[in-house]
Amino acid sequence: MTGEAAVLTGFLAAAIRISTPLLLAATGEMLNERAGVINLGVEGAMLAGALASAVGAAAGGAWAGALLAVLAGVAVAGVFAAVAIGARADQIISGTAITLGSVGLTGAIYRMAFGAGGPGLSLPTFAAVPIPVISAIPVLGPSLFNQPALTYVAWLLVPLAWWFLFRSWWGLALRATGESSEAARASGVPVRRVQVMATLAGGALAGLAGATLVLAQVGTFAEKMTAGRGFIAIAIVVLGRWHPVGILLAALLFGAANALQFAFQAMGLSVPYQLFLVMPYALALLALAGAVGKAQAPAGLGK
């Protein structure tokens, strides 16, 4: 492979690797918001999933970690569902509180289990799984089709989510709930149940996203490691217009922007690293601002 091709391949591979947790969390949050519930606890769920995946992987291997992460995400989302849907408290403040609580809880558990500020753990991770034949295509092959299993899972969810939302009755019921819960209820939709299920599903995916972060990207757990990725996922949902395919593209965009730092390094350009640190947040803000046509949001979001 030539030098430039190598850089390009490396860049694409990194972009996809970085975008995977964002894609998972954003897909989950999309389902949540399409049902009319905005869940700022997604960051907390992702963090809880990250810690759970570390614990699970250390005990029983990568897949055990992923499973535990999903459960942790569901648990955090469950608390949110109880407060925001069950008791109908303000969604935004309760979601924020849950993220705060999750940060505190994961920090406390991590320190108790692994000691304060210790060296990074060594965990069994998800190795890249090349898909036979396609992974041999120049440039695209090694970058797109030689990814950890969880990336393929994330991609599969895109057409699945599309089919669910637009071709199944329950997906229709979910969309109706997000537009007008009263009208949906009058049509016989069990609104609360739909919202709770959507929230739990969002939590599960957020937890899985945390697992991806630990087991397929960074390789270890650190306090507050999600660093706002959950909130960026919310921006991705807006940028992707609450549509599975749009979200896939938006997540890839964020992944690419983030991957730029590796491309720059590989090309020998030096830029203060804080700039790359800031980039995803700046991009998220741009995405939110540029998403003109806010009328596309589910009409009943947050109510």
Q: Does 118 bind another protein (CB under 8 A)?
A: no
- Of 212-220, 249-257, 262-270, 286-294, the segment contacting another protein by CB under 8 A is 286-294
Q: Name which position in 175, 210, 215, 248 contacts another protein (CB under 8 A).
A: 175
Q: Where are the alpha helices (DSSP H) in the chain?
A: 3-34, 42-60, 62-80, 91-114, 140-144, 149-167, 169-179, 181-186, 191-213, 229-239, 244-266, 273-290
130 three-class SS: strand
What are the C-alpha distances in Å from 122 to residues 25, 54, 214? 25, 9, 11
Orientation angle between helical segments 3-34 and 229-239, nearest 10 degrees: 80
Specify burial of residue 14 (Cβ count, 10 A radius: 0-12, 13-18, 19+). buried
Nearer to another protein, 100 or 140 (CB): 100
Contact in structure between 41 and 99 (CB atoms under 8 Å): yes
By CB under 8 A, the residues from 68 to 97 that bind another protein are 83, 87-90, 92-94, 96-97
Q: Does 153 bind another protein (CB under 8 A)?
A: no
Nearer to another protein, 230 or 244 (CB): 230
- Of 2-10, 27-35, 263-271, 288-296, the segment contacting another protein by CB under 8 A is 288-296
Q: Does 222 bind another protein (CB under 8 A)?
A: no
DSSP string, 268-298: T----HHHHHHHHHHHHHHHHHH---GGGS-
Q: Does 285 bind another protein (CB under 8 A)?
A: yes
By CB under 8 A, the residues from 30 to 59 that bind another protein are 40
Q: Name which position in 2, 167, 268, 270 contacts another protein (CB under 8 A).
A: 167
Q: Does 299 bind another protein (CB under 8 A)?
A: yes
Nearer to another protein, 234 or 253 (CB): 234
Counting residues that bind another protein (by CB under 8 A) gives 63
Nearer to another protein, 142 or 240 (CB): 240
Determine the Cα–Cα distance for residues 146 and 131; give it in Å rounded to an integer.
Answer: 6
| Region label for 293, one of left (φ > 0), alpha (ψ between -120 and 50) or beta (otherwise) | left
**Neighbour tally for 1: CB within 10 Å:** 11
Residues at the interface with another protein (CB under 8 A): 40, 83, 87-90, 92-94, 96-98, 100-105, 107-109, 111-112, 116, 167-169, 172-173, 175-176, 179-180, 182-189, 223, 227-228, 231-232, 234-235, 272, 274, 277-278, 281-282, 284-285, 288-290, 292, 294, 298-299
